[in-house]
Structure 1
């Protein structure tokens, strides 16, 4: 049985990893500009024109996510989120209150899957997940591990629902074996 300290360590490691990938400029804070740069890199990976419907949906989703994060996390009002503010907000469960997680994360998940779904079949292949991983800052090997763990029905594709459940695992699960723990690469 895991102790509370071990669970806290797992959550801290997951959040530190996500923070690192979101802090695009490496200044020790997450800002709206970091989210914009993430979107720009994903659009570039998929050679998506910035004004396309999918690009606009992706940018809008990440802007909503940033506003929700800033509103609930930026406790000192400086327009940026420190690692401590980020961790306190997620550990405090702000995303899970009143359906907040689904409202904040599901639109981004749908937009990301729609953009990465280059075949247009409504699901992600291993190659599409690798490309998306590169956009998110993770290696092809890490993307392959994520894909294998999250393809819960074993059909060789990821659906929006499977990716959304992985998001939920990553941010909210205390289970060290939860498939979504691999979402943003090796912890």
Structure 2
């Protein structure tokens, strides 16, 4: 059984991916998120950071689709998405490490524009914009995720937040603030 907290987070994730709002996620939606992220950071899909994001998102999408598309129609609806995310990543650390962790790392490294090993509030806001997340959620989320209070998210803090957001049932997990209050 999946908690209400995790269900809300997965439903929000579905809305982030469903770029055209048609109620399903397709190849085009996954590619659209990559395009929004690359555009937000002014990266080409052939740059090292862009290439890492493109290839990791493609692997994530293929892995998710293999677990989610139970009727073979090439798209994923909200129920399929929830079930697949739990099966493929929440209850499967190997799946998380294989397909989700690389896209999380590529996202964080893309956001670390100056290669400082940390993400500033401004860089974090660009990620949030690419995910179509309302800006009012950004600052409070950033402050909560900045566990050591140094005004930036280390790569480790950011990756931990991503993992907690997408896999934790704990309603008090700090990572729940990845996209603001859920």
**Alignment TM-score > 0.5, same fold:** yes
Give the whole-Å Cα distance in 2 for the aligned partners of 1:171 and 1:109: 10
Q: Measured at CA, do residues 103 and 161 of structure 1 come closer, stay the same or move farther in structure 2, by a change above 3 Å?
A: farther
Q: Measured at CA, do residues 169 and 98 of structure 1 come closer, stay the same or move farther in structure 2, by a change above 3 Å?
A: closer
Q: Which residue of 1 aligns with 2:101?
A: 106
Q: Which residue of 1 aligns with 2:150?
A: 155
Give the whole-Å Cα distance in 2 for the aligned partners of 1:75 and 1:128: 37
Note if 1:71 corresponds to 2:66. yes
- Deviating 4+ runs (over 6 angstroms): none
Deviation at 1:39, TM superposition (A): 0.7
Alpha-carbon displacement from aligned partner over 1:159-182 (angstroms, at most 9, x marks no partner): 222222112211221211211112
Alpha-carbon displacement from aligned partner over 1:21-51 (angstroms, at most 9, x marks no partner): 1101111111121111111111111111232
Give the whole-Å Cα distance in 1 for the aligned partners of 2:159 and 2:111: 14
Q: Which residue of 1 aligns with 2:14?
A: 19
Matches within 5 A, 1:23-34: 23-34=18-29
Between the two proteins, the alignment pairs up a number of residues equal to: 181
Matches within 5 A, 1:36-115: 36-91=31-86, 93-95=87-89, 96-115=91-110
Q: Measured at CA, do residues 178 and 98 of structure 1 come closer, stay the same or move farther in structure 2, by a change above 3 Å?
A: closer
Deviation at 1:183, TM superposition (A): 1.6
Matches within 5 A, 1:165-180: 165-180=160-175
Structure 1 portions without partners, runs of 5+? none
Give the whole-Å Cα distance in 2 for the aligned partners of 1:25 and 1:179: 30
Q: Which residue of 2 aligns with 1:119?
A: 114
Does the 8 A contact of 1:116 with 1:132 survive in 2? yes
Give the whole-Å Cα distance in 2 for the aligned partners of 1:126 and 1:24: 24
Note if 1:131 corresponds to 2:126. yes
Does the 8 A contact of 1:109 with 1:160 survive in 2? no
Deviation at 1:98, TM superposition (A): 4.8
